[in-house]
A and B are shown apart, each in its own frame.
Chain A
Amino acid sequence: MAKEDLIITDKNDDGIDRAGFIKCMAWAGTGILWMMNGGIMKSFGMSQMIDKTTGGLKKGLVIPALDFSFVQISDSHIGFNKPANPDVVGTLQAAVAKINAIPTAPSFILHTGDLSHLAQADEFDTLDQVLKSVKTEKVFYVPGEHDVLNGDNKQFLARYGKGTKGDGWYSFDSNGVHFIGLVNVVNTAEGGLGVIGNDQLEWLEDDLKGLSNSTPIVVFAHIPLWAIYPQWGWGTRDSAQALSYLKRFGSVTVLNGHIHQTMQKVEGNITFHTATSTAFPQPQPGTAPAPGPMKVPAEKLRGLLGLTSVNYLEHDHTLAITDTPLAI
């Protein structure tokens, strides 16, 4: 950990000092703020940051210049038309409007899968059409299991997988951060668990070889790479192997979708984060017989959908993750 990141005075025993808190608050969006510093991630509720009388950020906050930022959206399920959300195009458009309202346009967007509901050409067409209006330079994709139904991932690869390896995995660098898009939905294990597979694991090991331990890593894939609730298939069978390759890096952030709700976990140097859907919510683990579209009162729906913003300060090696519901 860098010397400037050490907490000298921690009167509230909350693991963050005043300067850190102000820096952290500068990332404030709506929902929950996540800030990672030196491999340690802490969350801060909006009540800590928002001035209740004005509805804005508390007075005195200074917003630092960003090196770059990106947004994660997930589980658009274009084509879904059941009561849980009969207007998934409308809610995706609302997510795009949120992104376009960000003062500094994100460098790019990561879509962590389930673009479509039934992997139909017209569904992909609609998604493309909606995302045309988003203010960003590029959109990166990984498939969800709904995008490769009936064992057919050809359409997804033809549309979104140009220049990728195998079933669509790839990596790229941006502003000193190494991004890795993994595919864990083409071969699924018993119970719906994701599978990365040997070919992709070998590629991953090789891809990481030339990187120094201080390189910040962001891994994104559809099914969570940590065992959230294996009984519902919310985990990846061979993720331990992949994560073992990432242990030597000081800062690793893993972004997933699939479960349609935000969850976070820190394990050593690795911060796991799952995003909400732009289409419909799913029940919390174990609170229903099975996962699936969850119908909520119409006025509550957009509060359970949303997007994730990630801001990065290169000189601090700081990645801050903010979840923003569509309702706010």
Chain B
Amino acid sequence: MKLTRRLIVITGLSVTVFAAVAAIKPENPPGDKFKNLRVLPKNISSKDLSGIMVDEFQDDLGISCNFCHAENKDTHRPDYASDEKPEKEIARAMMQMTIGINKKYFKLRHPMIGDSTLIITCATCHHGNSHPDNTVNQ
């Protein structure tokens, strides 16, 4: 009888733990479908990557995809994996700089672009401009 009760408790706990793990599992599981990621995590989710592109780059710099991404000559669509445009490499350097500043000067342990915990973001300097304007009083 005691054994049966113990089994029920263990089973119940297992179900609870399993349910809890399932609950915290991201809705969009990370994958490796994005090519040529060098600064952003290779297993970044579609939602996180899109959020960075839209909320960090598009809104904070006032640019669209074509600013960094070259056009595929055959499909006339953005070739996201291509490194043809120098702006893309500059964007990588800027992301590394931003991560570095947050790590070195603000002591964040694992800063990543798009994190809401970042002290310094693209917007800190860009203010909606593709190139920071140091002539404007901020």
Q: Is B118's CB within 8 Å of the partner chain A?
A: no
- Choose among A118, A189, A291 the residue that contacts B50 (Cβ–Cβ < 8 A): A118
Is the beta-carbon distance between B62 and A187 smaller than 8 angstroms? Answer: no
Q: Is B36's CB within 8 Å of the partner chain A?
A: no
Interface size on B, residues (CB 8 A): 27
- A121 contacts which chain B residues (CB < 8 A)? 27-28
Is the beta-carbon distance between A118 and B127 smaller than 8 angstroms? Answer: no
Q: Which of B51, B58, B77 has the most CB of A within 10 A?
A: B77
- CA A288 – CA B133 in complex, angstroms? 13
Is the beta-carbon distance between B127 and A289 smaller than 8 angstroms? Answer: yes
Q: Is A117's CB within 8 Å of the partner chain B?
A: yes
- CA A292 – CA B56 in complex, angstroms? 11
Is the beta-carbon distance between A289 and B66 smaller than 8 angstroms? Answer: no
Q: Is B96's CB within 8 Å of the partner chain A?
A: no
Q: A151-B77, A292-B128 are in contact. Are A191 and B47 (CB under 8 A)?
A: no
- CA A146 – CA B51 in complex, angstroms? 10
- A122 contacts which chain B residues (CB < 8 A)? 27
Is the beta-carbon distance between A190 and B59 smaller than 8 angstroms? Answer: no
Is the beta-carbon distance between B66 and A290 smaller than 8 angstroms? Answer: no
Is the beta-carbon distance between A290 and B129 smaller than 8 angstroms? Answer: yes
Is the beta-carbon distance between A292 and B62 smaller than 8 angstroms? Answer: yes
Is the beta-carbon distance between A289 and B64 smaller than 8 angstroms? Answer: no
Give chain B interface residues in 105-138, CB to chain A under 8 Å. Answer: 127-129
- CA A119 – CA B78 in complex, angstroms? 17
Is the beta-carbon distance between B55 and A82 smaller than 8 angstroms? Answer: yes
Q: Is B99's CB within 8 Å of the partner chain A?
A: no
- CA A192 – CA B27 in complex, angstroms? 30
Q: Is B73's CB within 8 Å of the partner chain A?
A: no
Is the beta-carbon distance between A118 and B76 smaller than 8 angstroms? Answer: no
| Shortest beta-carbon distance from A147 to chain B in Å | 11
Is the beta-carbon distance between A150 and B55 smaller than 8 angstroms? Answer: no
Is the beta-carbon distance between A149 and B77 smaller than 8 angstroms? Answer: no
Is the beta-carbon distance between B62 and A290 smaller than 8 angstroms? Answer: yes
- CA A151 – CA B53 in complex, angstroms? 13
Q: Is B95's CB within 8 Å of the partner chain A?
A: no
- A146 contacts which chain B residues (CB < 8 A)? 54
Q: Is A197's CB within 8 Å of the partner chain B?
A: yes
Closest to B60 in A: A292
